Amino acid sequence: MWFKTSKPPAPDHCELAIDARGLIKNFGDFRAVDGVDLQVRTGSIFGILGPNGAGKTTTLRMLLGIIEPDSGSRRLLDSLNPLDVAQMVGYLPEERGLYPSMKAVEAIAFMGALRGLSLGEGRKRARALMEEHDLGFAADRQIRQLSKGMAQTVQLLGTFVHRPRLIVLDEPFSGLDALNQQKLERLIRAQADAGVTIIFSTHVIAHAERLCEEIAIIAGGKVPFHGAVEAARDRLRPQVRLETRTLDGPWRAALPPGTQPQGHWWHFTLPETGVEPLLRALIEGDAGIQSLSIERPGLHDAFVAIAGEAAAAEMAREQREHSA
């Protein structure tokens, strides 16, 4: 296994929407967050990736000032007190909550009012947002009359009706089917395209891989990786899938020691020397190349290598439960 250890230089405060250093939070004798550092660049989509119980929600709540860290510091939108900039933040908690008897447009306006927007302006913006996202027909329906996906969309629209600079989403895809997950991804991208900083937690690796520029992997209250998605994937060397006509010859010396075929197929990690010497050995040794592909590891493979098999298995179990 091949690991890169270099880190990019730390950005200046002016480039950061969030800058947290050494966050620690204990609940009795249990340490939920153990020295977490997070730096989220302004205008980026940032994912916090890990299983339930890893410390994701506790970290987000400390960043927002909902709970206080036992030690460490955090700077949110260049303020040391997150509550001072609360009106510039949109927050979708993991625990969803909309009043069932409230009309959709009123629910969005109410959420905006909690962040300082007048109810009149909130209603105006809410109708415009619902029309923009093909929900205008449901603007005056009660929340109880909406599908789960529609209600989730209403709540998400309520998180940015006041036009925040930062949107924080805690497990936003939980419980949604594939179609509504795609709609939610488009909503998130549209906000990022408008210059809003997005940070969200998730236990679904595919969402982070598609949406995020940078991620933090969190496991056991610690962050073993923080950086670009590409950098996480680069921690593992590419994998080679090779089909040969022959099964033996001098070319086998170019394969990693112990590599064994499955039929006429070979699967192994690309040698440190790269693909050119491997190709030369295969051709000169008359291996009879039938097929050759070099596959870059995905974020799932990187997560397993960084956080461990147990954390990956727990995330897979959670994903099955939420999609059932």
Note whether 274 and 204 are same-domain residues: no
Predicted confidence at residue 323, as pLDDT, reads 62
Lay out the sheet containing 16-27: strands in order across. Answer: 30-41, 16-27, 71-76
For residues 160 and 209, state if they share a domain.
Answer: yes
Do the beta carbons of residue 57 and residue 201 sit within 8 Å?
yes
Mark which of 233, 252, 268 sits at the end of a domain.
Answer: 233
Same domain, 101 and 153: yes
Examine the domain organization and report whether 227 and 251 are in the same domain.
no
Residues 34 and 180 placed together within one structural domain of the fold? yes
Whole-number average pLDDT of the chain: 89
Residue type, 61: R
Let me know whether 125 and 256 are in one domain. no
List of residues 6+ apart from 175 with CB closer than 8 A: 148, 152, 322
Asked if residue 212 and residue 72 are part of one domain, the reply reads yes
* Tens digits of residue pLDDT in 263-310: 999 999 998 888 999 999 999 999 999 999 998 888 888 888 888 888
Which domain does 260 fall in, by range?
239-295
Supply the pTM of this predicted model. 0.82
Tokens 């204990």 found at: 26
Residue 49, φ and ψ in degrees, nearest 5: -115, 125
Number of domains forming the structure of the chain = 2
* Residue 46 sits in the same domain as residue 86: yes
213 and 229 inside one domain: yes
pLDDT number for residue 181: 86
Digit-coded pLDDT (tens) for 8-51:
444 545 589 999 999 999 999 999 999 999 999 999 999 999 98
Q: In the prediction, which pLDDT does 126 show? A: 97
pLDDT at residue number 139: 95
Low-confidence ranges of the chain (pLDDT < 50): 1-10, 12
DSSP helix/strand/coil, 174: coil
* Residues 260, 255: Cα–Cα separation, whole Å: 9
Residue 152 neighbours by CB under 8 Å, 6+ apart: 96, 172, 175, 176, 180, 184
285: left (phi over 0), alpha (psi -120 to 50) or beta: alpha
**96, 126, 184, 191 from 169: Cα distances, Å:** 11, 19, 11, 12
Residue type, 221: G
pLDDT at position 5 is: 33
CATH number at residue 186: 3.40.50.300
From first CA to last CA, the distance across the chain in angstroms is 35
- pLDDT tens-digit readout, 259-269: 999 999 999 99
Q: What is the pLDDT of residue 8?
A: 41
Query: Which pLDDT score is estimated for 74?
Result: 96
What burial class does residue 324 get, using C-beta atoms within 10 Å of its C-beta: 0-12 exposed, 13-18 middle, 19+ buried? exposed
Query: In terms of domains, do 135 and 243 share one?
Result: no
